[in-house]
């Protein structure tokens, strides 16, 4: 048989009131509607639940047997309704390489959970755009334009490119900045799935030898071991500090765009808030600098004695 919460609530209310008339008043419906609802429940059960009396009504033996179970079902339904109404959604932000650098902690601290009714969580994923398409995150941080037409994006800021190399590198250890020509003489370690470094950076110049890595951890391990050097956005120098790896600025290369990406048609107030707040952070304390100017902020971050500004915090799906 099939029954509804409306039928159970009607039955329990009338049984408690001891009267169809009083039960209808408590439910703010007509007495005829109450009679029809309870008659439908009785037909479905194949048993009479309430005995009509001149002075009101009383449960039958079947009614007394059903009443405790009906109360439990209604109590669970009320708890579920309370949970569904009070819980917060989670906006999962995925990133494959680095989050938002020095801006990540500030964004998490100042996120208006009560105002938007949504928690903000950052989660490292394997490939940002693929994870977004597969629903493993709700919005992704990327530093190259998504190729899939089913994705939309907004640029929130720009970051300088940095070169990462082994800490014991005798030739580069005391340098403040390096050039693409100098880097081209080394083996450059790249992540072809999520990275932003390819031969196009050296258009018109000598192209270095490349060595592929499969993850940021392997990229860092290879650099620390002196197997090659890496080029990355400045956020990496804050997000992935590693003993044995130094970061320095590159004087003659364009900055990297930082994008927030989401599935087409799914931009909602929480996404709008994230885009607006991230843009404001980059505008007020941008990590980007004009190529050729100083690199002191990143150099300070690269020093072994610099205190960490943020560590990753995993999360899960918006529900």
Confidence of residue 1 (pLDDT cuts 50, 70, 90): low
Q: How far apart are CA 163 and CA 298, in angstroms?
A: 11
Beta bridge partners of 53: 56
Residue 200 pLDDT greater than 60, yes or no: yes
Contacts of 282 (CB under 8 A, 6+ apart): 103, 156, 157, 158, 258, 288
The answer, as to whether pTM is greater than 0.85, is no
Confidence of residue 39 (pLDDT cuts 50, 70, 90): very high
- Candidate from 12-16, 152-156, 305-309 with smallest mean pLDDT: 305-309
Beta bridge partners of 249: 162, 177
Beta bridge partners of 210: 188
* Cβ proximity of 190 and 211 under 8 Å: yes
Contacts of 6 (CB under 8 A, 6+ apart): 37
Q: Distances in Å between the alpha carbon of 55 and those of 18, 22, 25, 50, 291? A: 9, 12, 16, 13, 90
Sign of dihedral through CA atoms 165, 236, 263, 317? positive
Q: How many CA atoms lie within 13 A of 40 on its CB side?
A: 14
Work out the angle at residue 220's Cα, subtended by the Cα atoms of residues 219 and 221, and round it to the nearest 5 degrees. Answer: 95
Residue 315: per-residue pLDDT: 38
| Strands 139-142 vs 256-263: parallel, antiparallel or unpaired | antiparallel
Of 88 and 211, more confident:
211
| Strands 56-59 vs 50-53: parallel, antiparallel or unpaired | antiparallel
Q: What is the pLDDT of residues 280-300, one digit of tens each?
A: 999 987 444 333 333 333 433
Of 204 and 293, more confident:
204
Which domains does the chain possess?
5-86 (1.10.10.10), 93-319 (3.40.190.290)
Residue 97: per-residue pLDDT: 87
């Amino acid at each position: 048989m099939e029954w509804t919460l409306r039928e159970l609530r009607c039955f329990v209310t009338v049984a408690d009131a001891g009267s169809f008339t009083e039960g209808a008043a408590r439910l703010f419906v007509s007495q005829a509607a109450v009679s029809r609802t309870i008659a439908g429940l009785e037909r479905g059960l194949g048993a009479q639940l309430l005995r009509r009396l001149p002075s009101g009504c009383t449960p039958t033996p079947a009614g007394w047997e059903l009443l405790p179970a009906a109360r439990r079902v209604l109590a669970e339904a009320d708890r579920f309704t309370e949970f569904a109404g009070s819980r917060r959604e989670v906006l999962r932000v995925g990133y494959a390489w680095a989050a938002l650098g020095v801006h990540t902690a500030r964004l998490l601290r100042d996120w208006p959970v009560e105002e938007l009714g949504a928690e903000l969580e950052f989660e490292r994923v394997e490939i940002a755009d693929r994870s977004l398409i597969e629903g493993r995150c709700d919005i992704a941080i990327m530093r190259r334009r998504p190729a899939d037409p089913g994705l939309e994006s907004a640029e929130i800021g720009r970051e300088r490119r940095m070169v990462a190399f082994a800490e014991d590198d005798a030739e580069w250890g005391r340098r403040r900045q390096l050039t693409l020509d100098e880097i081209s003489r080394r083996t450059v370690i790249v992540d072809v799935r999520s990275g932003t470094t390819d031969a196009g950076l050296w258009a018109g110049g000598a192209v270095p030898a490349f060595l592929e890595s499969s993850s940021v951890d392997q990229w860092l391990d290879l650099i620390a071991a002196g197997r090659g050097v890496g080029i990355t956005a400045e956020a990496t120098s804050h997000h992935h500090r590693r003993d044995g790896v130094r970061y320095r600025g590159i004087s003659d290369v364009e900055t990297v765009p930082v994008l927030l990406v989401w599935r087409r048609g799914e931009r909602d107030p929480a996404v709008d808030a994230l885009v607006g707040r991230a843009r404001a952070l980059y505008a007020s304390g941008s990590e980007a600098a004009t190529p050729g100017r100083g690199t002191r902020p990143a150099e300070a971050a690269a020093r072994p004695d610099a205190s960490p500004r943020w560590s990753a915090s995993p999360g899960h799906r918006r529900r």
